[in-house]
Amino acid sequence: MGTQVADNYPPAKDGRSAQEKAIDDWLPITSSRNAKWWYSAFHNVTAMVGAGVLSLPYAMGPGIAVLILSWIITLYTLWQMVEMHEMVPGKRFDRYHELGQHAFGEKLGLWIVVPQQLVVEVGVNIVYMVTGGKSLKKFHDVLCEGHGCKNIKLTYFIMIFASVHFVLSQLPNFNSISGVSLAAAVMSLSYSTIAWGASVDKGKVADVDYHLRATTSTGKVFGFFSALGDVAFAYAGHNVVLEIQATIPSTPEKPSKKPMWKGVVVAYIIVALCYFPVALVGYWAFGNHVDDNILITLSRPKWLIALANMMVVIHVIGSYQIYAMPVFDMIETVLVKKLRFPPGLTLRLIARTLYVAFTMFIAITFPFFGGLLGFFGGFAFAPTTYFLPCIMWLAIYKPRRFSLSWFTNWICIILGVMLMILSPIGGLRQIIIDAKTYKFYS
């Protein structure tokens, strides 16, 4: 079952053949361009405020300055990407790798951007599979407490969470998942408020301790590195921002960067309202006794914690779809343009189902939530979020040496490279520690 793609029509105004235009009109990123500025707002909130917000109190010992600095740096680099989307008159860089190709060349741009973007997006989807499964399990355990319910393996909850995505992954493009994304954005603000509100209500625990949780110098150093990764994970929207902007209409008189930036600013205000109260109040209440997911630390009132965990489930359903859509676009582009498969329902059904099954399998096999956050956060998020936009800006715009723009970009690059090198070390160590006591598929 395929989509008819004809060659006997005149080429499109931008020089594409009728076949190329038909394929672009089918691919998820370029098939719909009627989004409004508020789509940008809630898509960006859904992309950024994910599982990471609940781990921020756990990272706060060494991470408060990094959290604030990251909010500033990533807002700046996000502005750069929004500006660069239409830097060439009459052309739109609808995908991160297309901007990379413009900055670094056709082949080099692909090799620099695509592997990193895939690691981020696939990594996020795996982590969100784990998060969704853990939140469903917590919801079940809280409701069943005292009722003698059977203990169910985390594996099954991850499979239940994945079953939703086998269906939702068939939605064709970003605009078609806007309802899911809006619900997810509302849930993120809601459960963040519950997390810090319940922490305030509970107050400081009796033996609260604000020292680093590790007792050895080695442990403290690695804990700091891991906390850096947790913070880096909290700002990941850059990996889908060009793809989100691609859904907004654009003309020379009304470029898409204006509504896109308006949505980004609103999103970042909401992000601040989610991140900072949860991080600061959660750490104030529990100190270094807080879990890597603060909702696990909070156990009362039962109904509120159960509700918050279900909100997390709804949110990461939306987040998973936001990060999966560019991956679907890459997969379908290769299958249709390179391997010449006919575009259509059958191809989409098989390709997307296999992808969801893959992320589910990895999540079931390696459900190390805290360590995964730290490892993926540094290894992949730091380049694509903190310094790759700055490198592209320097390569394309070539600001005068020692100017404010030049200094700003190089500072972001240096800090981002340090984050990329240091944070995966802590995350990898945490995965190794967790793996020592973990039994596969238990």
Read out DSSP for 181-211?
Answer: HHHHHHHHHHHHHHHHHHHHHH---TT---S
pLDDT per residue as tens digits for the range 146-169: 777 788 888 999 999 999 999 999
pLDDT confidence of residue 200: 84
Residues 231/223, Cβ–Cβ less than 8 Å: no
Residues 169/328, Cβ–Cβ less than 8 Å: yes
Residue 3 lies in a domain: no
Q: Which two tokens stand for residue 305?
A: 């914690």
Residue 222 lies in a domain: yes
Stronger pLDDT, 57 or 310, i.e. the higher one: 310
* CA dihedral over 361, 164, 128, 118, signed as positive or negative: positive
For residues 159 and 357, give the distance between their C-alpha atoms in angstroms, rounded to a whole number: 9
Residues 211/49, Cβ–Cβ less than 8 Å: no
Count of structural domains, the chain: 1
- What Cα–Cα distance (Å) separates residue 119 from each residue in 71, 179, 323, 345, 379? 22, 26, 11, 27, 9
User: How much is the mean pLDDT over the chain?
Assistant: 83
pLDDT confidence of residue 76: 94
pLDDT per residue as tens digits for the range 88-111: 888 899 999 999 999 999 999 999
pLDDT per residue as tens digits for the range 216-242: 777 767 767 766 766 766 777 788 899
pLDDT per residue as tens digits for the range 421-430: 877 776 677 6
Residue 356 lies in a domain: yes
Q: What percent of the chain has pLDDT over 70?
A: 82
Residue 26 lies in a domain: no
215 burial via Cβ count (<10 Å: 0-12, 13-18, 19+): exposed
**CB crowding 406-434: b at 16 or more within 10 Å, else e:** beebbebbebbeebbebbbbbbbbbbeeb
Least confident of 124-133, 166-175, 256-265, 326-335: 124-133
Residue 223 lies in a domain: yes
Residue holding tokens 């240091």?
Answer: 422
pLDDT confidence of residue 232: 67
Nearest to 30 by CA among 273, 304, 247: 247
Helices marked H in 234-256 = 238-245
pLDDT confidence of residue 14: 53
Residue 8 lies in a domain: no
Residue 13 lies in a domain: no
Residue 2 lies in a domain: no
Task: Please give the distance of CA 266 from its chain centroid, rounded to a whole number.
Answer: 18
Residues 306/143, Cβ–Cβ less than 8 Å: yes
pLDDT per residue as tens digits for the range 265-284: 999 999 898 888 888 888 88
The range of the structural domain enclosing residue 358 comes to: 32-435
Q: Which two tokens stand for residue 396?
A: 């394309």
**CATH code for the domain in which residue 383 is found:** 1.20.1740.10
pLDDT band at 7 (very low <50, low <70, confident <90, very high): very low
